[in-house]
Amino acid sequence: MEPRADTQRPPAYRRVLLKLSGEVLAGPDSPISMEVTKKIARQVAEVYGSGIQIAIVIGGGNIWRGTTGLKSGLDRPTADYMGMLATIIDGLALQGALEGLGIPTRVQTAVEVRNVAEPFIRRRAIRHLEKGRIVIFVGGTGNPFFSTDTTAALRASEIEAEVILKGTKVDGIYDSDPKIHPEAKRFTQLRYLDAIQKRLSVMDSTAFSLCMDNNIPIVVFNVFTPGNLRAAIFGEPIGTRVCA
């Protein structure tokens, strides 16, 4: 797919990092639904070529969570490494969906798997972005004890992304779980420190702190609503914005 110019108005950002949890790829009967994955890919395709560079960090919770391993008796590093391998599977699925739409991609991994993905090299990742390729970062940070949210904050800092767009199943950050508490209040904007002090579970404190230190805003939005990713990239008021 050739990048196409947007004739309406320029996007709000030059380079973005899209953070997706593994759960957004899951179907009712499978940890990875290619039908659902293709819907996510079509949202990315909608904004591809609008004058922006897109990197993606994908989680692996649809296949394996480190906390699951801890409950079954595994030690934390082993459980976390299994989770890193799960993100590689999700990244390859997303790559397949994007390339099926004609969008050039590269998968870069922090856990070396030579036959299926490039090792993460910062300068190479930036060069891919400059050439119009979408870069999917997998394998977490390559270290246990760090979440893929922290990976997103780290990679965004390394590639100098202007914003982290966290695509979830809800339309922002709430003061309590809206599924349990119908009266839950959605925040339209939060400061980094407020998000950390309130211990909001949408991202871990390490990720919030890293974004705060590098002044990278975070926009949390529902990625399943058609047009939401485009709205976030074009700076429309959507979801919850966490910033200074």
Q: What is the pLDDT of residue 10?
A: 85
Contacts of 24 by beta carbon, 8 Å cutoff, 6+ apart: 36, 40, 167, 168, 169, 223, 224
Chain centroid, CA 206 distance in Å: 16
Q: How would you classify the pairing of strands 53-58 and 15-20?
A: parallel
Q: What pTM value is reported for the model?
A: 0.92
DSSP state of 126: H
CA dihedral 197, 235, 220, 196 (to 10 degrees): -10
Q: Which residues are annotated as a binding site for ATP?
A: 19-22, 61, 65, 168, 174, 177
Q: DSSP E strands: which ranges in the chain? A: 15-20, 53-58, 105-109, 118-119, 134-138, 163-168, 173-174, 186-187, 189-191, 218-222, 240-243
Query: Which pair of tokens denotes residue 11?
Result: 């996007």
134, 98 contact by CB (below 8 A): yes
All structural domains of the chain, each given as residue ranges with its CATH number in brackets, are 15-243 (3.40.1160.10)
Contacts of 223 by beta carbon, 8 Å cutoff, 6+ apart: 20, 24, 40, 43, 167, 168, 169, 229
Q: What is the pLDDT of residue 137?
A: 98
Q: CB count, 10 Å around CB of 86?
A: 25
Q: Which residues are annotated as a binding site?
A: 19-22, 60-61, 65, 80, 141-148, 168, 174, 177
CA-to-CA dists, residue 79 to 66, 71, 90, 223, angstroms: 5, 10, 17, 28
Instruction: Print pLDDT tens along the chain (244 aa).
Output: 544 444 467 899 999 999 999 999 999 989 999 999 999 999 999 999 788 999 999 999 999 987 777 788 899 999 999 999 999 999 999 999 999 999 999 999 999 999 999 999 999 999 999 999 999 999 999 999 999 999 999 999 999 999 999 999 888 999 888 888 888 889 999 999 998 988 887 888 999 999 999 999 999 999 999 999 999 999 999 999 999 8
Q: Which residues are annotated as a binding site for UMP?
A: 60, 80, 141-148
Query: Which pair of tokens denotes residue 77?
Result: 């590093």
Q: CB count, 10 Å around CB of 59?
A: 26
120, 109 contact by CB (below 8 A): yes
Q: What is the pLDDT of residue 70?
A: 78
